[in-house]
């Protein structure tokens, strides 16, 4: 099993380590051609605007959109924003997951926090780390909500696409990463 990590900006190393800790091969992805050799793709946390600029600079957007149409993709934090079909007050990016994202919904960097949450089918007590986190403001009917925090959707699955508002790579709990790897099988 080869899981790619979009390696243009953000928490690339942390995601690679988490994937490898789950027993899968992690591949840093920097070009569109590399997408052909992987079973799933992780869009890491970081800064979504910077990532989009780098995606455009590398001319990767069409290839990422096509990949997400057909193969499993997991967007964490900024990756959720990239994956969303709608982003409040801005244009969508990869746009394949039928959700609406709201940037920085949990406040600024200084408002960062960690809290245990229940993720349906994954964990009853996942240690979720929120850093300038977005939230899922709305989902289409077919999208499965996997986790809610104080009434806000923070994790969802849409067919072969998964997204969360928090940073699973910053914990030692591999249950959500294993869930995504199982989606790729």
Catalytic position from the list 22, 77, 164, 184 = 77
Q: Which of 15, 22, 164, 167 is catalytic?
A: 167
Catalytic-residue membership of 167: yes
169 labelled catalytic: yes
Find all residues with CB under 8 Å of 182, minimum gap 6, and list them: none
The answer to whether 31 and 60 have CB atoms below 8 angstroms apart is: yes
Task: Respond yes or no: is residue 140 known to be catalytic.
Answer: no
Residue 26 to residue 42: CA distance in whole angstroms? 10
E-strand ranges in the chain read 2-6, 25-29, 40-43, 73-76, 84-87, 97-102, 113-119, 123-130, 135-139, 144-149, 152-158, 161-164
C-alpha–C-alpha distance, residues 112 and 70, integer Å: 34
d(CA 77, CA 59): 22
**Active-site residue, from 14, 22, 169, 184:** 169
Which residues are within 8 A (CB) of 67 and not within 5 positions of it... i.e. 6 or more apart? Answer: 35, 41, 73
Cα(84)–Cα(92) distance, integer angstroms: 7
What are the residue numbers of the active site? Answer: 77, 167, 169
């Amino acid at each position: 099993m080869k899981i790619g990590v979009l390696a243009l900006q953000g928490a690339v190393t942390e995601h690679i380590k988490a994937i490898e800790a789950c027993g899968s091969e992690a591949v840093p992805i920097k070009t569109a051609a590399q997408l052909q050799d992987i079973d799933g793709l992780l869009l890491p946390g970081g800064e979504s605007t910077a990532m989009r600029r780098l995606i455009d600079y590398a001319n990767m957007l069409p290839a990422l959109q096509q990949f997400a149409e057909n193969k499993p993709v997991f967007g964490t934090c900024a990756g959720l924003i990239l994956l969303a079909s709608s982003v409040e007050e801005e244009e969508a990016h990869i746009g394949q997951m039928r959700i609406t994202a709201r940037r920085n919904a949990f406040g600024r960097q200084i408002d960062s926090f960690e809290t245990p949450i229940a993720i349906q089918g994954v964990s009853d007590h996942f240690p979720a780390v929120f850093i300038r986190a977005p939230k899922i403001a709305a989902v289409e009917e077919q999208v499965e909500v996997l986790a809610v925090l104080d009434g806000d959707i923070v994790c969802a699955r849409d067919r072969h696409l998964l997204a969360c508002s928090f940073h699973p790579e910053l914990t030692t709990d591999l249950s959500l990463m294993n869930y995504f790897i199982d989606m790729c099988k």
